[in-house]
Chain A
Amino acid sequence: MKRILKAVANTVGGWFEARLRLKESVMPILEHPIPAGAAGPKGWWYVFGSASMTLLFLQIATGIGLALVYVPSADQAYQSLEYLNYRQPFGWFLRSIHYWSGSGMVVMVVVHMTQVFLHGSYKYPRELTWIFGVCLLLLTLGMAFTGQVLRWDADAYWGVGVGASMAGRVPVAGPGIVELLIGGPTIGASTLSRFFALHVFIIPGLLLALVGGHLWLVITRGISEPPVPGQPVDPKTYDAKYHEEVKKGKPFLGDAMTKDALFSSLVVLVIVALAAIIGPKGPGGLPDPTLTGANPRPDWPFLWLFGLLSLSPAGLETFVMLAFPAVLVVCLLLVPFVSNRGERAPSRRPVAVLVVLVGGTTLAVLTYEGMTSPWSPQMGAWSGDTIPTAVVKRSTPLELQGAAVFQNKNCRNCHALEGIGGKRGPDLSSVGVRLTRDQLIDQINNGTPGGGNMPAYGKHVRPAEMDAMVAFLVSLRPEGQPPAKTAGQTTKK
Chain B
Amino acid sequence: MSEPTAPKPADAPTPEEPTRRSAMLWITGGVGAAAAAAVGVPVVGFLAGAVRARPIDWVPIGKVTDAALFPVNETRLHIFRNPIHEEWDGDSAKTGAYIRNLGKDDKGQEQFWVFSMICAHLGCPVTWFPQSALFMCPCHGGVYYENGDRASGPPPRGLYKMPWRIKEGVLEVQAPHLPTLQDTLEKPSDVVQLGIIKRDRGERA
The answer to whether A and B touch in the complex, with CB atoms under 8 Å apart, is yes
- Alpha-carbon separation in the docked complex, A167 to B180 (Å): 9
- Report if A182-B178 is in contact (Cβ < 8 Å); known contacts: A453-B153, A460-B132: yes
Q: Which residue of B lies closest to A77 (CB)?
A: B90
- Report if A292-B127 is in contact (Cβ < 8 Å); known contacts: A168-B181, A310-B140: yes
Residues 267-292 of chain A, each 1 if its beta carbon lies under 8 Å from chain B, else 0: 00000000000000000001111111
- Alpha-carbon separation in the docked complex, A288 to B124 (Å): 12
Binds B, one of A22-30, A113-121, A184-192, A337-345: A184-192
- Report if A74-B154 is in contact (Cβ < 8 Å); known contacts: A168-B181, A310-B140, A408-B131: no
- Alpha-carbon separation in the docked complex, A460 to B50 (Å): 45
- Nearest-neighbour CB distance to chain B for A301, whole angstroms, equals 17
Q: Which residue of B lies closest to A181 (CB)?
A: B50
Name the B residues within 8 Å of A454 (CB-CB): 152
For A185, A291, A296, A455, the residue with the greatest tally of chain B CB atoms inside 10 Å of its CB is A185
Name the A residues within 8 Å of B82 (CB-CB): 186
Tell me if B127 and A164 are in contact (CB < 8 A). no
Asked if A166 is at the interface (CB within 8 A of a chain B CB), the reply is yes
Interface range for B: 35 or more
Binds A, one of B12-20, B26-34, B91-99: B91-99
Residues 67-88 of chain A, each 1 if its beta carbon lies under 8 Å from chain B, else 0: 0000001111010000000000
- Alpha-carbon separation in the docked complex, A180 to B183 (Å): 14
Q: Which residue of B lies closest to A168 (CB)?
A: B180
Tell me if A158 and B191 are in contact (CB < 8 A). no
Binds A, one of B60-68, B105-113, B143-151, B162-170: B143-151
Q: Which residue of B lies closest to A161 (CB)?
A: B123
Q: Which residue of A lies closest to B91 (CB)?
A: A288
Q: Within the complex, which residue of A75, A187, A314 is in contact with B154, where a contact is CB–CB below 8 Å?
A: A314
Asked if B79 is at the interface (CB within 8 A of a chain A CB), the reply is yes
Binds A, one of B3-11, B35-43, B114-122: B114-122
Tell me if B178 and A178 are in contact (CB < 8 A). yes
Residues 77-88 of chain B, each 1 if its beta carbon lies under 8 Å from chain A, else 0: 101001011111
Tell me if B183 and A174 are in contact (CB < 8 A). yes
Q: Which 5 A-B pairs have the closest CB atoms?
A: A168-B180, A75-B90, A185-B177, A455-B151, A175-B189
Chain A residues engaging chain B, CB cutoff 8 angstroms: 73-76, 78, 157-158, 161-162, 164-169, 172-176, 178-180, 182-191, 194, 286-296, 309-310, 314, 317, 375-377, 379, 382, 408-411, 413-414, 424, 447-448, 451-457, 459-460
